[in-house]
Amino acid sequence: MVERVLLASPRGFCAGVERAVETVEQALDLYGAPVYVRKQIIHNIHVVRDLEARGAIFVEEETEVPEGATIVYSAHGVAPSVHANSARLQHKVLDATCPLVTKVHVQARRFAAAGYTVVLIGHAGHEEVVGTMGEAPESTVLVQDVAEAEALELPEAARAAYITQTTLSVDETVEIIGVLRRRFPEIVGPRKEDICYATSNRQWAVKEMLSEIDMLLVIGSRNSSNSNRLVDVAHAHGVAAHLIDDESEIDARWFEGMRTVGVTSGASAPERLVVGVCEWFRQRGVERIEPFQMASEDVTFRLPVELRRELALAEARP
């Protein structure tokens, strides 16, 4: 019988997600529905459904959006070809790419322009990886894990540079970079690693909590990379973990023989989902629901410049 629930902190929304969601909300207020959004603005099904109810239309590709319409690019970033398509279709673009993803795009461009082969550490098919690879597709190779780093073949004369997706496992990435450095001693990388503050803080908080819990619940959607990595952190240390979208996916049988359950949430999961999970435990007699705080975060990002400009104009109108 579960006696105690520990709530990891930091958890939940990061600055890039807050900014992306607010961009869509403000665009809906400013222009009215519909506002088109390319891909899920963030990887959380609840947030997507809420925005849909307010008039956002989610599309897979910018080419599906009518000429002249307003389109918001998701927090995960886009390839230059997406900007080109929107320019051709005269879209009003609000780019909600997280500034920390943009930083990785800039690195990819700079390394490629300087003649480096760019080794991108990340997961194939993830939107962020697709966007980053699009910066210099001819010069970029993807490495997904240690085995691929070991097998990587580079032309003899190639100068190589590595960059990483922002939402990877901190520990696994250190290992992959270690392999690349051993195999290609001349390889260069960014001054500071690309895994973002939110991803590393949430993994760190979970890691510190593992010795006190019997099981971890991670609130987040299946396509959320950083949420999946939180599950991986628990598994890597031999602690059972489940990824759930909300409390409706909890199976009471998971907790047989368990006393303390840890709860965290990915960077794209709103806090109300954590409240729902806590309520699930409360209704089953768990009284001890306690915070497990490792750090506090005070990062904020300003809204996209094009939206700020439009908001300022709207405010100045008589």
Q: Which residues are catalytic?
A: 128
Among 86, 107, 139, 226, binds ligand SF4 (CB under 6 A): 226
The beta-carbon contacts of 297-303 under 8 Å, at least 24 apart in sequence, are 297/10, 297/14, 297/15, 297/197, 297/198, 297/201, 299/14, 299/15, 299/197, 299/198, 300/15, 300/18, 300/19, 301/15, 301/16, 301/18, 301/19, 301/98, 301/99, 302/19, 303/19, 303/22, 303/23, 303/26
Supply the DSSP symbol for 188: B
44 lies in the binding site for ligand SF4 (CB under 6 A): no
Among 27, 72, 98, 218, binds ligand SF4 (CB under 6 A): 98
CB of 262 to ligand SF4, least distance (A): 20
Q: Which is nearer to ligand SF4, 98 or 250 (CB)?
A: 98
Q: Which residue is nearest to ligand SF4 (CB)?
A: 16
17 lies in the binding site for ligand SF4 (CB under 6 A): yes
21 lies in the binding site for ligand SF4 (CB under 6 A): no
CA triple 25-31-36, angle to 5 deg:
65
Q: How far is CA 307 from CA 9, 58, 304, in A?
A: 31, 19, 5
> Stretches 52-60, 94-102, 133-141, 271-279: which one binds ligand SF4 (CB under 6 A)?
94-102
| 151/143 Cα distance (integer angstroms) | 9
Sort residue 90 into left (φ over 0), alpha (ψ -120 to 50) or beta. left
Q: Which is nearer to ligand SF4, 187 or 307 (CB)?
A: 307
| 24/198 Cα distance (integer angstroms) | 21
Token pair, residue 18, equals 């807050």
Beta bridge partners of 244: 219
CB of 257 to ligand SF4, least distance (A): 34
| 179/243 Cα distance (integer angstroms) | 30
> Stretches 93-101, 247-255, 280-288, 309-317: which one binds ligand SF4 (CB under 6 A)?
93-101
CB of 35 to ligand SF4, least distance (A): 19
Q: Which is nearer to ligand SF4, 160 or 273 (CB)?
A: 273
129 lies in the binding site for ligand SF4 (CB under 6 A): no
Among 74, 167, 224, 265, binds ligand SF4 (CB under 6 A): 167
Quickly count: other Cβ atoms within 10 Å of residue 289's Cβ.
16
274 lies in the binding site for ligand SF4 (CB under 6 A): no
Count residues contacting ligand SF4 (CB under 6 A)? Answer: 15
Among 10, 12, 16, 262, binds ligand SF4 (CB under 6 A): 16
**For binding to ligand SF4 (CB under 6 A), which residues are involved?**
14-17, 75, 98, 100-101, 166-167, 196, 198-199, 226, 267
